[in-house]
Amino acid sequence: MIKGMKIFITGASGRLGGALNRRYAARHEMLTPSRSVLDLAKPDEVAEIVRDLDFDLLINCAGMISPDECEGDPLGAMRVNAESPAVLAAECQRRGARMIQISTDYVFDGEGDSLLSEAAPAAPAVPVNAYGRSKLAGEQAVLAACSQVLVARVSWLFGPDRPSFPDQMLARAIAGQEVAAIADKWSVPTSTDDIASWLEHLFIHRPAASGLLHVCNSGEATWHSYAETTLALALEIGLIQDLPPVKPQRMEEFTGFLARRPRYTTMSNAALADLLGETPQSWESALRQSLAGRVTR
């Protein structure tokens, strides 16, 4: 029997925040203020608002997450992704609450070709875009401000709460449009439902867990193999009737990005597996479950 907690989630309407709120609401007392109430773009106002809230655990899912949006407004990205999280962490430290800060694989420069552990240096020079720089600054700020903070790095999220990459690929296939995806960029697609389960296990059964932790499914993919697997599973499940080819693209040929993307950011989940007592399932298995859920909804 899980003992209920008072959990404060920022960004509860987002892809990950929505999954956490959906999973935890039946067992925990949830506090999920909207952006109109708590706006991380205004760090000067955050402390006063949060000081009046009652919670045991703060999970900060809010952020400026579009690399291109961050590239166009790097100061805004720093306010949302670094300055306000530091304020939240300081308030958690003041009251003795725990905090989980959601971060990203984009803190790495992407120049390697082997699995990245928590001990791997984040971007030996600097992250390759404003998003990565702001999230790395946020990691450093919350770790300095709070002794009970867990920084959970996640990557390539998919789940039922907000559209993501698999939804885009399926929509193109169903519409009979060309499906194309970049084939020279690697990371780990990760289920928001799995993250919700893992984090709950950690804050209930491993409350002392703190510092950096890579929170992702097992395996790796390119956007191209991610798209191919999505469509193959969709065909198997019956979401599509024909399997279209996926045209491979190179990052250097893709002109749709304002911000540069890191090439290789596949994270090792070995430390997570040790904390959970089992290896997280593969991203392919998690994706199959996610797609199968569409049939029953």
Task: Give 51-56 contacts, CB < 8 A, sequence gap 24+.
Answer: 51/91, 53/8, 54/6, 55/6, 55/7, 55/8, 55/31, 55/97, 56/5, 56/6, 56/7, 56/97, 56/98
131 is catalytic: yes
Residue appearing with tokens 């999973």? 23
End-to-end CA distance of the chain: 28
Which helix (H) or strand (E) is 147 found in, with range? Answer: none
Q: Contact, 110 vs 262, CB < 8 A?
A: yes
Q: How far, CA to CA in Å, does 39 sit from each of 16, 119, 210, 225?
A: 18, 32, 26, 37
Contact 216, 267 (CB under 8 A): yes
Alpha helices in the chain (DSSP H): 15-24, 43-51, 67-72, 74-78, 84-95, 130-145, 165-174, 192-205, 223-237, 270-276, 283-296
Residue 178, token pair as written in the block: 């060309």
Which residues are CB-neighbours of 171 under 8 A, at least 6 positions away? none
Q: How far apart are CA 14 and CA 293, in angstroms?
A: 19
Q: Which of 106, 131, 226, 264 is catalytic?
A: 131
For the annotated catalytic residues, the residue numbers are 131
